[in-house]
A and B are shown apart, each in its own frame.
Chain A
Amino acid sequence: MDFSVLLTDLPTLVAVIIGVPAVLAAYIVGGEYLVRRLPDKARPSVRPWIWVAPALLLVTGFLVLPAIGTIGQSFQDNHGKFVGLTNFGNQLSGFPTGGSWIAIRDNLFWLIFYTLFVLAFGLLLAVLFDRVPYEKIVKSLIFMPMAISSVATVVIWKFMYAYQPPGQAQTGTLNAILNGLFHQDPRTWVQDTTLLFGLIPINNMALIAAAVWGIVGFSMVILSAALKGIPADLLEAARVDGAGEITIFRRVIFPLMMPTVVVVGTTLVIFALKAFDIVYAMTNGNYDTDVLANRMYKLLYQHFPSDYANASAVAVILLATVIPVLIFNLRQFRAVEARR
């Protein structure tokens, strides 16, 4: 490795060390200076806008305007002609296997299983780890997959799911366990569409499992932080009152963590809707594992010329599914507001 670049790329280095903090500080101090110039009465109505302005500006530029463009595009063809709901018709016709239906079904699997598992594991690990003295070590270990890039995650899970014909020495961890411990024939985890417990195809579950493994550290860290925010005396009081640990969790810990659970849950639901990396790299939607984001990506970048019209319709379907989650959040938000 050659680190001589440290000396040559001076403008960037200076910008990072001095420039960026300076711009941020200048905005903050300048904004407050301006607010202070205002008459007393005007301040409370002006200040919030100064505080949220940079965020709104960036978000508008990078997300809002493209999203609006997408919504507009979803009602047009690729030459900009208004076509009403044609694109949505393309995506939503041919139930249950045509259009986007397979992707919608699989996104539903992701929505349920990914969210549930990540939330449940995260909560379980946060609560259990909170009670052992080597918490930091085990937390770091569970967190480690988060630090692995999605490219490497795919490599890892290819090793987990690797398949050799029956009778051969298995090179995949799962098949080795299945074969060695349970004396069963190896499975092609990523291609097998057999239903698991009559609920979900094995290959979808396999992809979800890989994603869950990679993200549990996320929910664990946030939920653990929330757990530590619960005053110890509340738990002690409950213990003194004779409550068992499970009761304490159910009646004291969980309700107090609820707002955080909602935040993590909402984020995970949205991550599930946007699931892409793992599916793209492992199956690209083959064997009925497609998801909306992958479908959209294919329409955009593996389609020449890019099919913006249909990709936009898929994206709008994806965005629309978020609305119930937002309504739930609004209610939660109002409830917290009312309590204080």
Chain B
Amino acid sequence: MASVTYDHVVKRYTADLTVVKDFNVEIKDKEFMVLVGPSGCGKSTALRMLAGLEAITEGQIRIGDRVVNNVAAKDRDIAMVFQSYALYPHMSVYDNMAFPLQMQHMKKDEIDKRVKNASRILGLDNFLKRKPRALSGGQRQRVALGRAIVRSPKVFLLDEPLSNLDAKLRGQTRIELQKLHRDLETTFIYVTHDQVEAMTMGDRIAIMNAGILQQVGTPGDIYDHPANLFVAGFIGSPTMNFVPATVDNGTAKASGLEVKLPKPVSAAKGTLGFRPEAVTDRIVDGGPSMKMKVDVVERLGSDQFLYGQVGSDQVTARVDPRMSVQPGDTVQLGLDTRGLHFFDSESEKALI
């Protein structure tokens, strides 16, 4: 088992097309690391460089202590699950899983043992003789996983493995993957554009945008302390409320809200950020409050979301489901300052 280190890694196709810029991450041994970001952010390229499918323009990638820049893909001791699964259509499930082992010239009975073991873990026992075209999407996905598992690689790479599954299956598989990670005790690197997958599965998350690493941290860390406006907006659903504000004497002023910042900031202008759950129906005495003209009410049973106008800004609030509100009502809401963020208008960096 091994750690993975990206050390000032750059991927440049042409002089003016750089898809990964100065990428630095250290992924610990046995860690479940999720690379997340919108499509085209360079996360897949970062993964493919690690897999050995793309050349590294600058910098180093290390697996354990070994620099793998010039090591062929097959010698990196990694396994990869493709978004498309990339199953060999002319081979049976068994042969698909046996293929990487045959490539290592492993003995027949050892191959058999490993394939049987993997198929038991994945519940594929009854399908070993089938061809991929006779399998459902979820089964194919598990064959793809199986093909990676049999090799017991040092590092497991997964490139959006759930995106071709339907919602229900995706939920299940998410849990199974986490279980698999625990069982295999291997480093997992998982690429996705879905922040829910990232939040639920990752030990740590690395968020990328436009080829640049934005923030690395545990899900909780990133949720509570986003490093910048992008991360704050990307993680969490519904998204964080952003209202433009001016700062005067430690107090931020927005169109419909005034709040004393918990910490002094140097900027005079910026964006106030607070998650919907920080906006409550409980108003603390002396605490900040706001008037919301409610446009839409969403009741989810366990939660109730209000979407409306505060001053000239759009705000979402998560309130007690028992509170009775109708669209068109104007309600008075409080703000929990513990969940308050302030982002610099220029750098978009979090100042609070």
Enumerate chain A interface residues (CB-CB to B < 8 A): 40-41
Contact = CB atoms under 8 A, between A and B. Distances in A.
- Judged by DSSP, the binding face of B is loop
B70 interface: yes
B268 interface: no
A41 B55 CA distance: 11
Contacts of B70: 40-41
Nearest to B70: A40
B169 interface: no
- Judged by DSSP, the binding face of A is loop
A236 to B, nearest CB: 14
Contacts of A41: 70
A98 B72 CA distance: 64
A41 B71 CA distance: 9
Contacts of A40: 70-72
Contacts of B71: 40
A193 B71 CA distance: 70
A75 B96 CA distance: 60
A147 B71 CA distance: 51
Nearest to A231: B133
Interface in B65-79: 70-72
B69 to A, nearest CB: 10
Nearest to A39: B70
4 contacts: A40-B70, A40-B71, A40-B72, A41-B70
Interface in B23-72: 70-72
A121 to B, nearest CB: 31
Nearest to A232: B133
Contacts of B72: 40
A2 B172 CA distance: 72
B89 to A, nearest CB: 11
What are the 3 tightest A-B residue pairs by CB atom distance, in nearest-first order? A40-B70, A41-B70, A40-B72
A40 B75 CA distance: 12
A40 B72 CA distance: 8
A102 B71 CA distance: 63
B195 to A, nearest CB: 28
Nearest to B71: A40
A139 B70 CA distance: 51
B51 to A, nearest CB: 16
A41 to B, nearest CB: 6
Interface string B80-112: 000000000000000000000000000000000
B34 to A, nearest CB: 27
A164 B70 CA distance: 79
A74 B75 CA distance: 56
A279 B90 CA distance: 46
A123 to B, nearest CB: 26
A40 B70 CA distance: 7
B164 to A, nearest CB: 13
B263 to A, nearest CB: 51
B49 to A, nearest CB: 16
A18 B103 CA distance: 28
Nearest to B75: A40
A272 to B, nearest CB: 37
B48 to A, nearest CB: 14
B23 to A, nearest CB: 22
Nearest to B72: A40
Nearest to A40: B70
Nearest to A41: B70
A40 B73 CA distance: 11
A337 to B, nearest CB: 14
B44 to A, nearest CB: 15
Interface in B260-304: none
B124 to A, nearest CB: 22
A339 to B, nearest CB: 15
A41 B69 CA distance: 11
A40 B67 CA distance: 14
A40 B68 CA distance: 12
B216 to A, nearest CB: 31
A41 B70 CA distance: 7
B105 to A, nearest CB: 15
A39 to B, nearest CB: 9
A47 to B, nearest CB: 12
Interface string B238-264: 000000000000000000000000000
A294 to B, nearest CB: 46
A233 to B, nearest CB: 10
